Amino acid sequence: MTTATSTAKASVASGLITAGVDVGASAVKIAVLRIGDDQDVSVLALRADRIRRRDLRSVIREGYALALEEATVAPEEVAYAASTGEGEMVDFRRGHFYGMTAHARGAIFLLPEVRAVVDVGALHARAMRIDERSRVLGYRMTSQCASGSGQFLENVARYLGVALEEVGPLSCRSAHPQQVSSICAVLAETDVINMVSRGITTADILKGIHLSMAGRFVKLLRATGAEGQVALTGGLAADVGLARALQEKVNEEGLAMEIHTHPRSIYAGALGAALWGGYRHRVLARRAGVPA
Amino acid sequence: MKPELEQLVHRAQQLYEDLDLAAVRTWKQAAPGRKAIGYMPIYVPRELMHAAGILPVGILGGGDRLEIIRGDAYFQSYICHIPRSTVELALSGRLDVLDGMLFPSIGDVIRNLSGMWTMLFPGRYVRYVDVPQNFDPKVGGAYWRRELETLQGDLTRLAGRAIKDDDLRHSIAIYNQNRQAIRELYQARSWQPWVYPTSELYLFLRAGNVLPPEEHTELLRQYLKLAPLEEDRKEKDHSRVVLVGMFCEQPPLGLLLTLERAGCWIVDDDLLLGMRWLTGEVEVEGDPLANLVTAFLEQSTATASRYQPEGDRGRALVESVQHNVAEGVIFCAPSFCDPALLDQPMLIAALDRESIQHTQFKYSEDTGQFAVIREQAGTFSDSIRLWSEA
């Protein structure tokens, strides 16, 4: 199994160039890799673009072009461009991998010791139990409710006038986290408004929300039978406050789990898709009897 | 999409969406005295209707485009959806253009629907086409011959003209051409499913429910010619799957699209099986009724609504997987479809013996949410591609 290596712009002349495009509900993440014959992986480019209200296909195309430029790779050099997430929007893709498959692979690439993954995106969260090859052994997803999603956290941050990147550090400074509804995003938003009017600090509000979300994720993890090392991936993996809250909830429930994030965790889907793309390229080349 | 193909797809889509059977009305109005007879899915001898100058019209319920207001009142909650929407279509007057209905033996529900039809619409021609389940020429063959003769007599009276042997031979030849075009399309799709996506192929196949066979064959030929000219239809790294279980109540188009979007190339299926019931050509020369009987006895496809000795259907499914170089099977059956669901364990056992991967889910013709199916089919496709060689 390959592991993460440092970003190296075309430092290895030979090898397979693959790309992974993870189209999420609020951002497009792109990874460009060079996979050597010895399976050593160089990350040539990583890119995340917020979709906002732009045309999604344009965001994908422009982001892909810029990622290839950063990797100093021409489009025709890419042996396999893989999509994950809303893959049909990636019209240049050769193959598509499902979110769980891609995130599991990306998580093992970044953190080889993990055996479970919590992928928190803008609209959904899911927990997976995986094996050392990144095969998904069991999973659970959140229901339609938005209160366990990144979009909900983003909305609250906006109400509080806090930039997204400040949410995690602020939450970590909380001394008296305030409990919010863990059931319904609408009720939780009402809770937040009440807290603001009661003069609760922003840090305590955010920590309360993180704990509420963490409580839901712990239930998902428990339902999959996960234990041991757990990776946090997806758009909210960069939120140190959420990671800390998740660890606290795990400890509180006496579960034998350690929560990990990686600086590249938000790219886990794109990395996983690119890695699987490399695998599939070699399989297809072998079947066709041509060199990979 | 190039304009010529776009127009063709648009026409097929319009025919698919038209629950009022406007194409049938137009066909009837084109000449005085024309008649049309509806038939439910699975095999009916369309050649006999064609030879009588009658347009056979495939009725496949209302799909996901019809609100069921009255149809539900006639069925228990544990009955499949197609009879509800078919009753709804009839009670709302949409099937008034039809001069009769044939109900082939698919399952208990469709058989009972023929009785309900007789009670609901007295005076209209209704017949339960009880196809033989014994394939011995002296038993099932003799029985089927008598059934066909009875049907021929009924159609003669309805059409007001005799069905001559030469008329029937001509109709058999016309349907042979139609079956040949469908076989070519299925073969082409099996080779290049990215050129002939099933969500599109299905529309063209389905047009044959309301078009005269000559026109339908021409439509299929045009599609076969135009689809490969689309430059953006490129091969993708999808898994190749066979779909099984959809021979009667049809899945919504969105489900087929979902499967393709989830990374599955459908390379064989049992959609609209009535059109492909006979796996080869019917002999044109000689006694045409005898030829229809022989074709039914010897060339009927393997499916749940037909009796076959234990193991035969499983073998047929495995052969389909092998012939179409498929990597897995998706059992995609309507909820409460006894024939399809009761067969599944036997088919699964046959696949397991050959280590062929499979997954299963259920649908209703009006299913509107595909998130779970997409997740399941996508994960199945990933599993085939990433773990089958592990």
Judge: A280–B385 Cβ closer than 8 Å, yes or no: yes
Q: What integer is the mean pLDDT of A148-154?
A: 78
Q: Which helix (H) or strand (E) holds A231?
A: strand A228-233
* Distance between CA atoms of residues B132 and B213, nearest Å: 25
Q: Please check whether residue A86 touches B, CB under 8 A.
A: no
Judge: B375–A98 Cβ closer than 8 Å, yes or no: yes
**Same topology between domain A3-98+268-285 and domain A112-261:** yes
* Reported CATH class of domain A3-98+268-285: alpha beta
Judge: B237–A133 Cβ closer than 8 Å, yes or no: no
Judge: B237–A80 Cβ closer than 8 Å, yes or no: yes
Q: What integer is the mean pLDDT of B212-234?
A: 97
Q: Mean pLDDT over all residues of chain B?
A: 95
Q: Is the ipTM of this complex over 0.85?
A: no
For residue range A23-76, what is the model confidence (pLDDT) as tens digits? Answer: 998 899 999 999 998 889 999 999 999 998 899 999 999 999 999 999 999 999
- In terms of pLDDT, which residue wins out, B250 or B389? B250
Show the tokens assigned to B131: 């196809």
For residue A10, the model assigns a pLDDT of 42
Q: Mean pLDDT over all residues of chain A?
A: 89
Of B237, B382, B389, the CB nearest to A98: B382
Give the rounded distance of the alpha carbon of B353 from its chain centre: 29
Show the tokens assigned to A20: 């992974």
Q: Which pTM value belongs to this model? A: 0.86
Q: Nearest Cα to A84, choosing from A68, A98, A100?
A: A98
| ∠ CA B271-B274-B280, rounded to 5° | 105
Q: Counting beta carbons within 10 angstroms of the beta carbon of residue A58, is it exposed (0 to 12), middle (13 to 18) or buried (19 or more)?
A: exposed
Asked if A99 contacts A85 with a C-beta cutoff of 8 angstroms, the reply is: yes
User: In chain B, pLDDT over 90 holds for what percent of residues?
Assistant: 87
- For residue A265, pLDDT beyond 50: yes
Chain A residue with minimal CA distance to B237?
Answer: A95
Virtual CA dihedral for B144, B150, B155, B161, nearest 10 degrees? 120
For residue B4, the model assigns a pLDDT of 97
Q: Nearest Cα to B184, choosing from B170, B199, B204?
A: B204
CATH number of A112-261: 3.30.420.40
Judge: B238–A95 Cβ closer than 8 Å, yes or no: yes
Question: If you search the block for the tokens 């347009």, which residue do you land on?
Answer: B55
Show the tokens assigned to A31: 């990874």
For residue A184, the model assigns a pLDDT of 67
Judge: A95–B385 Cβ closer than 8 Å, yes or no: yes
Give residue B260's pLDDT band: very low, low, confident or very high (50, 70, 90).
very high
For residue range B354-390, what is the model confidence (pLDDT) as tens digits? Answer: 999 999 999 999 998 898 898 889 989 999 999 887 5
Show the tokens assigned to A287: 């079947």
Q: Could you say which DSSP state residue A179 is in?
A: P
**Residue B129, strand partner residues:** B104
Mutation test of the interface with chain B: which of A21, A91, A101, choosing the one with the most B Cβ atoms within 10 A?
A: A101
* A21: region left, alpha or beta (phi > 0 left; psi from -120 to 50 alpha): beta
CA distance A171 to chain B (A): 34
Judge: B385–A98 Cβ closer than 8 Å, yes or no: no
Lowest mean pLDDT among A156-170, B18-32, B184-198, B257-271: A156-170
For residue range B301-317, what is the model confidence (pLDDT) as tens digits? Answer: 999 888 888 788 899 99
Local structure of B101: helix, strand or coil: strand
Q: Nearest Cα to B86, choosing from B50, B41, B42?
A: B41
Chain A residue with minimal CA distance to B234?
Answer: A94
Q: Please check whether residue A276 touches B, CB under 8 A.
A: yes
**Residue A96, strand partner residues:** A83
Give residue B24's pLDDT band: very low, low, confident or very high (50, 70, 90).
very high
Question: If you search the block for the tokens 């299926």, which residue do you land on?
Answer: B269
Give residue A113's pLDDT band: very low, low, confident or very high (50, 70, 90).
very high
- Sort out which chain B residues have CB atoms less than 8 A from A96's CB and list them: 236, 238, 262-263, 378
Classify the C-alpha dihedral B137-B142-B143-B148 as positive or negative.
positive
- For residue B28, pLDDT beyond 50: yes
Helices A202-224 and A150-160 cross at an angle (nearest 10°) of: 170
For residue A8, the model assigns a pLDDT of 43
Mutation test of the interface with chain A: which of B230, B386, B387, B388, choosing the one with the most A Cβ atoms within 10 A?
A: B386
Question: If you search the block for the tokens 């309360």, which residue do you land on?
Answer: A208
**Residue A27, strand partner residues:** A50
The gap between the terminal CA atoms of chain B, to the nearest Å, is 39
CA distance B3 to chain A (A): 20
Residues 6+ apart with CB under 8 A from A47: A29, A30, A31, A63, A66, A67, A70
For residue A88, the model assigns a pLDDT of 79
* Distance between CA atoms of residues B233 and B229, nearest Å: 9
| Interface size, chain A vs chain B, as Cβ–Cβ contacts under 8 Å | 45
| Residues 251 through 270 of chain B touching chain A, CB cutoff 8 Å | 261-263
Show the tokens assigned to B350: 């046959």
Show the tokens assigned to B68: 């069921």
Asked if A268 contacts A234 with a C-beta cutoff of 8 angstroms, the reply is: yes
**Residue A46, strand partner residues:** A31
User: In chain A, pLDDT over 90 holds for what percent of residues?
Assistant: 67
Task: From residue B324, give the alpha-carbon distance in Å to each of A285, B190, B269, B320.
Answer: 20, 6, 11, 6
- For residue A244, pLDDT beyond 60: yes
Of B262, B378, B386, the CB nearest to A276: B386
- For residue A13, pLDDT beyond 70: no
Of A101, A135, A280, the CB nearest to B237: A280
CA distance B361 to chain A (A): 18
* Distance between CA atoms of residues B369 and A161, nearest Å: 36
Within a 10 A sphere around the Cβ of B6, how many other Cβ atoms? 12
Judge: B236–A93 Cβ closer than 8 Å, yes or no: yes
Judge: B261–A88 Cβ closer than 8 Å, yes or no: yes
Judge: B379–A100 Cβ closer than 8 Å, yes or no: yes
- Render the burial of B157-173: b for 16+ CB within 10 Å, e for the rest: ebbeeebeeebbbbbbe
- Sort out which chain A residues have CB atoms less than 8 A from B261's CB and list them: 87-88
Local structure of A32: helix, strand or coil: strand
Local structure of B267: helix, strand or coil: strand
CA distance A3 to chain B (A): 18
Judge: B262–A98 Cβ closer than 8 Å, yes or no: yes
Chain B residue with minimal CA distance to A93?
Answer: B236
- For residue A12, pLDDT beyond 60: no
Please tell me which of A17-21, A194-198, B338-342 the model is most confident about, judged by mean pLDDT. A17-21
Q: Counting beta carbons within 10 angstroms of the beta carbon of residue B198, is it exposed (0 to 12), middle (13 to 18) or buried (19 or more)?
A: buried
Judge: A98–B261 Cβ closer than 8 Å, yes or no: no
Mutation test of the interface with chain A: which of B359, B382, B387, B388, choosing the one with the most A Cβ atoms within 10 A?
A: B382
Q: Nearest Cα to B37, choosing from B115, B107, B117?
A: B117
Q: Which helix (H) or strand (E) holds A275?
A: helix A268-288
Judge: A87–B261 Cβ closer than 8 Å, yes or no: yes
| Residues 114 through 143 of chain B touching chain A, CB cutoff 8 Å | none
Q: What integer is the mean pLDDT of B49-74?
A: 94
- For residue A4, pLDDT beyond 60: no
**Residue A140, strand partner residues:** A127
Q: What integer is the mean pLDDT of B96-116?
A: 94
Judge: B382–A93 Cβ closer than 8 Å, yes or no: no
Task: From residue B157, give the alpha-carbon distance in Å to each of A94, B35, B131.
Answer: 58, 12, 22
Domain boundaries, chain A: 3-98+268-285, 112-261
